[in-house]
Amino acid sequence: MNSLLSKKQIIISSFILMAFLFRLIPHIPNVTPITAVALFSGVYFTNKKYAFIIPMAAMFLSDLVLGFSSISLFVYAAFILVGYIGIASKKMSIKTILLSSISFFVITNFGVWLLAYPKSLNGLMECYTLAIPFFRNSLIGDFVFSGVLYYGFEFVSRKYLKTA
């Protein structure tokens, strides 16, 4: 059983690292694997400390290449919350992907508002309103990458881990 868990942890980590490599190549703005990876990690890692350590390390390493932004703290906080959504739900579904996407949107854009907009209700509304086109792209990325991670892992699990 330990070798099965070791293989599983390695395969999950490999999927995460491959997804984060996508951040390093040119892509449509906000169509990234960030939210999908956090959700996937929370759902599939049996050792829940790895559900945070592996994807956070991959995120940090890719940010070393891409650069950190003024809202990085909010991005990482949203990333952690999405990991908890995965842990609590124990599954990837339309509902958990959508909840994760909305959570990521709310937290990261709250950071944008705090750092770049007037601290008023109008400033808050303007920030979230102007972020809507980016949210559309985020949803596309979240659903596509969640599907790739989920179905890819299910395929590999059946073939190499003999779990299903």
| Domains of the chain, residue spans | 2-161
Q: At 45, list the tokens.
A: 């890692």
Confidence band for 7, pLDDT divided at 50, 70 and 90: confident
Q: Which of 53, 138, 143 is nearest to 92 (CA)?
A: 143
Section 58-65 average pLDDT: 92
Which residues are within 8 A (CB) of 65 and not within 5 positions of it... i.e. 6 or more apart? 24
* Mean pLDDT along residues 61-88: 95
Q: Where are the alpha helices (DSSP H) in 67-93?
A: 72-89
- pTM, rounded to two decimals: 0.90
Distance CA 36, CA 53 (A): 16
